[in-house]
Amino acid sequence: MTNFQLGLVELRRIAMPLVSPFRTSFGSQSARDILLVRVELTAEDGSVTEGWGECVALSEPSYSPEYVEGAQHVIEHHLLPRLRSAGRLDAASVGATLAKLHGHPMAKAAIEMAVLDAQLRSTETSFASYLGTTRTTIPSGVSIGIHNSIDDLLGSVQGYVDDGYVRIKLKIEPGSDIEHVAAVRELIGPDTPLQVDANTAYRRTDGQHLRELDPFNMLLIEQPLPEADIIGHAMLAAEVDTPICLDESLVSARGTADAIELGACEIANIKPGRVGGYLEAVRIHDLCVTKDIPVWCGGMLETGIGRAANAVLAALPGFTLPGDISASTRFYARDIVIDPITISDGHVKVPTSPGLGFELDKAFLDQVTTRTTTLH
Ligand code: OSB
Ligand code: MG
């Protein structure tokens, strides 16, 4: 069903200030410089439909090797020319067409996402019905940055608990870990789901230290070691009682299967951008279901575009743990969509409108746009 012709492609950069700085073990951010991809697809009957994708690459190659300027370059000079020379396309053909170009999953994901959005809109199909999801709401978790003082951290956590978030994730690093977790556990009580994310800040030799987190009854420890250290994660999984979850290490279904086989991945964080797109994300979900590995949906401080699509993905049955799919207002005072994701009773509604599930606020989008590149 590769029955669309790729027409005009627009690359838009937007500047989005964060409501408060977000600090992780790899750095602090107070604004997002985001690349959006708009594609026009022509169907066999000649009708033209536009679709939008969001590239999750950060400004610097600090979370993964990709960064926003590089993603824009590779899309313009390598990915789009390859897609155009392949002829007709649809969302399912994008990954295979680009497979011979190595790496750059976030750039590839953004294109596939835009094509998928346009394709779904052209047939008035929702992403939810395309994936066959049945859940109408999903539980909403929040990711909380590293704070300088425990008092400040507790103030932030209490605010998010008051907002209704059903699961708390704390960013940690050596020096801001055991005491921080102990204080938060004390604040939220023994039953509120709690987990931590180290973004690769520890080493294989930190097993005894990380064991000090075991008494706090957490859901998981996310990505304690560098992304390539799969065996190290398997060693930690054997040493520490709290389940080890991988984020940065998981970049494909193939690699996820190997990490599970090696005992390195007891729980999987699936981020569509990191793995090359929503279709690969579904394949990883399906694999984890057959391997009995619990799955949850990660986030990359997405706007309403990525946030809507993530909410649909997370409605698949294998997503048994709350994801980092918070209300848009957790990061942004105003979103670029007219129907931003909100939280109600700790849950987010799964969008069901045609396409990925958002409608753009075009006037506000224009206001925050810093650069537009049109490619034919
Ligand atoms: O490791 O999960 C991560 C944000 C940017 C880069 C990496 C990560 C994160 C988050 C935020 O934790 C998740 C969110 O969007 O809510
Ligand atoms: Mg993470």
Q: Which residue in 305, 18, 314 sits closest to 141, CA to CA? A: 314
The catalytic residues are 171, 271
Which region holds residue 39: left if phi is over 0, alpha if psi is between -120 and 50, else beta? Answer: beta
User: pLDDT digit string (tens) for 147-188?
Assistant: 999 999 999 999 999 999 999 999 999 999 999 999 999 999
In a shared domain, residues 93 and 148: no
Please work out whether the CB of residue 324 comes within 6 Å of at least one atom of ligand 1: yes
Instruction: Compute the mean pLDDT over every residue in the chain, rounded to the nearest whole number.
Output: 97
Please work out whether the CB of residue 247 comes within 6 Å of at least one atom of ligand 1: yes
How far is Cα 358 from Cα 351, in angstroms, rounded to an integer? 7
Residues around ion ligand 2, judged by CB within 5 A, are 197, 222, 247
In a shared domain, residues 96 and 151: no
Contacts (Cβ under 8 Å, ≥6 apart) of 181: 170, 172, 194, 196, 213, 216, 218
- Residue 14 sits in which domain range? 5-124+361-375
In a shared domain, residues 223 and 304: yes
Q: What average pLDDT does range 121-143 have in this prediction?
A: 97
Question: What's at 142, amino acid-wise?
Answer: V
Please work out whether the CB of residue 300 comes within 6 Å of at least one atom of ligand 1: yes
pLDDT at 1: 52
pLDDT at 134: 87
- pLDDT exceeds cutoff 60 at 202: yes
User: For 205, phi and psi rounded to 5 degrees?
Assistant: -75, 0
94 confidence band (pLDDT: 50, 70, 90):
very high
Tracing tokens 């420890």 back to the chain, one arrives at 221
Q: The domain that contains 73 carries what CATH number?
A: 3.30.390.10
Query: Cα dist. 287→52, 117, 152, 196, 295 in Å?
Result: 28, 24, 40, 24, 10
User: For 152, phi and psi rounded to 5 degrees?
Assistant: -60, -45
DSSP-H helix ranges across 222-361: 230-239, 253-261, 278-290, 304-313
In a shared domain, residues 242 and 214: yes
Record the tokens describing residue 158, joined without a space. Answer: 């209490």
Query: Cα dist. 135→88, 251, 361 in Å?
Result: 33, 26, 27
Separation of first and last alpha carbons in the chain = 23
Number of domains in the chain: 2
CA of 302 to the centre of ligand 2 (A): 14
Q: Which residue in 106, 40, 119, 125 sits closest to 280, CA to CA? A: 106
Number of other residues whose CB lies within 10 A of the CB of residue 73: 14
Residue 94 is assigned to a structural domain of this protein: yes
SS3 assignment for 341-374: CCCECCEEECCCCEECCCCECHHHHHHHEEEEEE
Q: What average pLDDT does range 47-52 have in this prediction?
A: 98
User: pLDDT digit string (tens) for 14-46?
Assistant: 999 999 999 999 999 999 999 999 999 999 999
- Atom 7 in ligand 1: which residue has the minimum CA distance? 300
In a shared domain, residues 113 and 145: no
Residue 235 is assigned to a structural domain of this protein: yes
Tracing tokens 């490619």 back to the chain, one arrives at 375
Query: Cα dist. 184→194, 212, 276 in Å?
Result: 9, 15, 35
Q: What average pLDDT does range 231-248 have in this prediction?
A: 98
Residue 354 is assigned to a structural domain of this protein: no
95 and 279 in contact (C-beta within 8 Å)? yes
Q: Which residue in 132, 155, 246, 150 sits closest to 198, CA to CA? A: 246
Q: What average pLDDT does range 238-258 have in this prediction?
A: 98
2 confidence band (pLDDT: 50, 70, 90):
low
- Atom 14 in ligand 1: which residue has the minimum CA distance? 299
Q: What average pLDDT does range 212-219 have in this prediction?
A: 98
In a shared domain, residues 135 and 103: no
- SS3 category, 194: strand
DSSP-derived letter for residue 32 is: E
pLDDT at 153: 98
Bridge partners (DSSP) listed for residue 221: 196, 244
In a shared domain, residues 58 and 139: no
Bridge partners (DSSP) listed for residue 197: 171, 222
Residue 265 is assigned to a structural domain of this protein: yes
In a shared domain, residues 44 and 180: no
Please work out whether the CB of residue 200 comes within 6 Å of at least one atom of ligand 1: no
- pLDDT exceeds cutoff 80 at 60: yes
Question: What's at 376, amino acid-wise?
Answer: H
Q: What average pLDDT does range 74-90 have in this prediction?
A: 97
Residue 253 is assigned to a structural domain of this protein: yes
- Nearest-atom number in ligand 1 for the CA of 171 is 12
In a shared domain, residues 170 and 315: yes
Residue 355 is assigned to a structural domain of this protein: no
- Atom 4 in ligand 1: which residue has the minimum CA distance? 300
Question: What's at 375, amino acid-wise?
Answer: L
Q: What pTM, to 2 d.p., does this model score?
A: 0.97
CA of 97 to the centre of ligand 2 (A): 29
CA of 228 to the centre of ligand 2 (A): 15
Number of other residues whose CB lies within 10 A of the CB of residue 104: 21
- Nearest-atom number in ligand 1 for the CA of 269 is 2
CA of 205 to the centre of ligand 1 (A): 25
